[in-house]
Structure 1
Amino acid sequence: MPQTKPIVSIENVVASASIDQRLDLNIITQTFPDVEYHPDQFPGLVFRIKSPKTATLIFSSGKMVCTGAKSEEQSIKAVRSVVQILRKGGVKIKKDAVIVIQNIVASANLGGKIHLEQAARNLPRSMYEPEQFPGLIHRMLDPKTVILLFASGKLVCTGAKKESDVYRSVHNLHTLLEEKRLMIYES
């Protein structure tokens, strides 16, 4: 049993969505002056909302990418809000958005320091090149995530598609570090 309980914080949820129809981004830009649209630099427009605080990229294909949410639920709510705001502004959207969570990025603190050199030798699918990057890169197969692990005991977990996968990844890695005696706890 691990000596400490990791403190996990979801930092960003990225979701893709599609309304399965073409959109005229120029009309959206005229209707909503707050959107950012520079077609010479990027093909999508940026639609920001305050609650939940997110930015949604909207493309003329009807595809969207929402970033900035702190949970799966917030991400889904944000896309639905954007679609609802567009409809209220007179944009005819026939179908509700089909939303898929693409990536969840979380940070965590394991509550102790880590022997990164030893961890690099003992953990499978790990890479540690301190001259290039101060963290160990660990690729977990189940759940499929990538964890950046630092000597401080802090980590970043990316690639999860569900919040439960983030918690499982962090727990699995923490347990593995404990079993291999790679955690250092100050008493």
Structure 2
Amino acid sequence: MFPKAIIQNVVSTAQILNKNKKLDLYSLSNIIKNAKYSPERFSALIIKVEQPLRSTALVFSNGKIVCVGTKSVKDSEIAIRNFVKLISKANSLYDTMRIAPPDWLARHISYNPEFFPGMCLRLKKYRSVVIVFTTGKCIITGARSEEEIYLIQNKIYNTILMFLKSQ
């Protein structure tokens, strides 16, 4: 039996503006505590919070928010709601919110150790990417639930075992 996957980072997104509207990221950076905006380095406002959940949000001018750093889907939903409230208070806006992990799809497996030490396996069926390192550690991105993470982990583990047994 293989060890249970440990979820280290959940990524979620929200859209808080209708199309054709823009957020003034410079003004928000001056109002919101622990917010940094350097448009010459990165086009998003970066907000880091420690309470109630340690997490980071990338806020883009089109109203898209990417939340990273939580350890579960539930925590990610709570964190992104907190970011929406924080921005709403600072900007007096609230529109609609959609929570969904970003969609990282491609059509092939890639491995080039000169550029990146991990093998990227793209699972079209699950709309996920698994990065497998020579240390045995794996990163699963794009999964929609914890159950899907464990299902993908099981499939990857059994596939790797199949190759190990054939050697």
TM, length-normalised to structure 1: 0.68
Cα distance change on mapping 1:82 and 1:163 into 2, 3 Å: same
Q: RCO higher in 1 or 2 (8 Å CA, sep ≥ 6)?
A: 1
- Report how many residues are paired: 159
Between the aligned partners of 1:151 and 1:100, the Cα distance in structure 2 is 30
Structure 1 unaligned spans of 5+: 105-124
Q: 1:30-179 counterparts in 2 under 5 A?
A: 30-50=30-50, 51-89=52-90, 91-102=91-102, 135-178=118-161
Whichever residue aligns with residue 40 of structure 1, its letter is: E
Instruction: Choose which of 7, 30, 33 in structure 1 pairs with 2:4.
Output: 7
- The letter of the residue matching 1:7 is K
Percentage identity across paired residues of the two chains = 30
What is the alpha-carbon root mean square deviation over aligned residues? Answer: 3.0
Structure number, greater radius of gyration: 1
Whichever residue aligns with residue 5 of structure 2, its letter is V
Consecutive aligned runs of 4 or more in structure 1 exceeding 4 Å deviation:
125-137
Give, in whole Å, the separation in 1 of the partners of 2:116 and 2:26.
43
**Aligned with 2:151: secondary structure?**
helix
